[in-house]
Structure 1
């Protein structure tokens, strides 16, 4: 594994957001959800596609805090322009578990 500098790490904007909408992404090649994540007044609401259908149902995602990268350039995923990358970890079963704070924190808070 190649080490990175602190400056490299600080370029990545990992922020806390709250999922405000989640629906099945019918046009996706692999099962996924379309998410809208609110990062507070400074950043606002961003859209994302997330392949988390094996562990989560859309209605259970609404209201949850997540950690996402908010400074990647937008990426076209089918008809959706993804504006952030919601983070997670692959479990032993291959299913993604979301990376989430374990306590309530203000929307937009940066991970450092």
Structure 2
């Protein structure tokens, strides 16, 4: 669990665990309110996303992010990632849960979003 959290908590390096991100530039010092500019790999319907760190709790292993700009159709997008210890086939493991809320873009269905 500690190894997984050490990657997930890095608001400044999301490309370490999100393969669709090619680059990240940070504006701030990894505190709540810090902004990052993310470049997205080709093949997706966006190239950039500006995101704000909303929550970082090392004790509870929770990371909250809100998209505040970019060239995509995601409006009012926010996500929360939590990391939990989990037993898998009798062995210690890690469960990562990412939940999000977003407005469904015009012309899309909930399933497409």
- The normalised TM-score by structure 2 is 0.29
Which structure ranks higher in relative contact order (CA pairs < 8 Å, sequence separation ≥ 6)? 1
Higher strand share: 2
TM (norm. structure 1) is 0.29
